[in-house]
Amino acid sequence: MATLEIRDLHVTVEADNATKEILKGVDLTVKQGETHAIMGPNGSGKSTLAYSLAGHPKYTITSGSVTLDGEDVLEMEVDERARAGVFLAMQYPVEVPGVSVSNFLRTSATAVRGEAPKLRTWVKEVKEAMERLNMDPSFAERNVNEGFSGGEKKRHEILQLELLKPKIAILDETDSGLDVDALRIVSEGINRVREGGEVGTLLVTHYTRILRYIKPDYVHVFAGGRIVESGGAELADQLEAEGYDKYVKGGA
Ligand code: ADP
Ligand code: MG
Ligand code: MG
């Protein structure tokens, strides 16, 4: 079973000519087959954690480690991380001019699998995955992220997840900008991928509503750049009822 281990991770960003420490010692272990929800107030550093794992150049790791089965993830190039089985939606460019969804997915699958998928089975695979996500077939011919609505971006993210079958998937605010129907379809997609028991999921979210559809094994409260409390699914219910106030006061 693949294991992602984050140990005492400290990360800074440059903002207004100053170096600001955003992550202040994050410790987290995610194993294949487990679902972890990271929940916390806005500005607590949740996306910074996701971007740091994705290898985004704006984020400087000042100390700590991230390993996948003992291999140093932080030393890996972005495409090596994907090949090692770490999926991060945001590791891909925001907009890829002139590249269709169809070509983009095939290129990604080729990179991750180490060989180009056979064209005929691939076309079928994509078509079926798109049907499951209620996506119009014409979507495959559109350019990646060009004029995508919030909902289309999220569906595209889950489409990649279904096709690339990573060991560890990191999903940041997958629920934002989705209406109830889209949220259900996207959640079902995530659950299908989870059912195989082969993906470890790190679900980063401010709101508890996606957790009505996706039951996490572990919930972590993120505040002030670190995990301040961990528990089971019941912790999400508590957060829904009480909010983040008690974690923010004098803290974040
Ligand atoms: P969250 O996702 O929990 O809302 P973020 O990780 O987006 O939190 O942001 C945490 C803090 O780091 C905020 O104060 C934010 O302004 C700052 N920050 C994050 N990314 C950048 C960046 N690229 N440049 C400057 N400041 C950033
Ligand atoms: Mg934010
Ligand atoms: Mg965020």
Return per-residue pLDDT of the chain as tens, 252 residues. 899 999 999 999 998 999 999 999 999 999 999 999 999 999 999 999 999 998 888 999 999 999 999 999 999 988 889 889 999 876 555 566 788 999 989 988 998 888 999 999 999 999 999 999 999 999 999 998 888 888 888 899 999 999 998 999 999 987 777 888 889 998 999 999 999 889 999 999 988 889 989 999 999 999 999 999 999 999 999 999 999 999 986 544
CB of 22 closer than 6 angstroms to any ligand 1 atom: yes
Cα separation of 88 and 199, whole Å?
Answer: 13
pLDDT digits over 82-118, tens only? 889 999 876 555 566 788 999 989 988 998 888 999 9
Ligand 1 atom at shortest distance from the alpha carbon of 222 = 3
| Complex ipTM | 0.95
Pocket test for ligand 1, best of 47, 51, 58, 170 (most atoms within 8 A of CB): 47
Under 8 Å between Cβ of 190 and 161: yes
**Domain range 3-92+165-248, CATH architecture:** 3-Layer(aba) Sandwich (3.40)
Pocket test for ligand 1, best of 13, 39, 175 (most atoms within 8 A of CB): 13
CB of 226 closer than 6 angstroms to any ligand 1 atom: no
Position 62: which residue type?
A: T
Under 8 Å between Cβ of 228 and 222: yes
Q: Is 88 exposed, middle or buried (0-12, 13-18, 19+ CB in 10 A)?
A: buried
Q: What ranges do the domains of the chain cover?
A: 3-92+165-248
Dihedral sign computed on CA atoms, order 212, 206, 175, 101: negative
Name the closest-CA residue to atom 7, ligand 1: 47
User: Ligand 3 being an ion, which residues bring their Cβ within 5 A of it?
Assistant: 46-47
Ligand 1 atom at shortest distance from the alpha carbon of 51 = 6
pLDDT digits over 35-71, tens only? 999 999 999 999 999 999 988 889 999 999 999 999 9
Token pair for 134: 């209620």
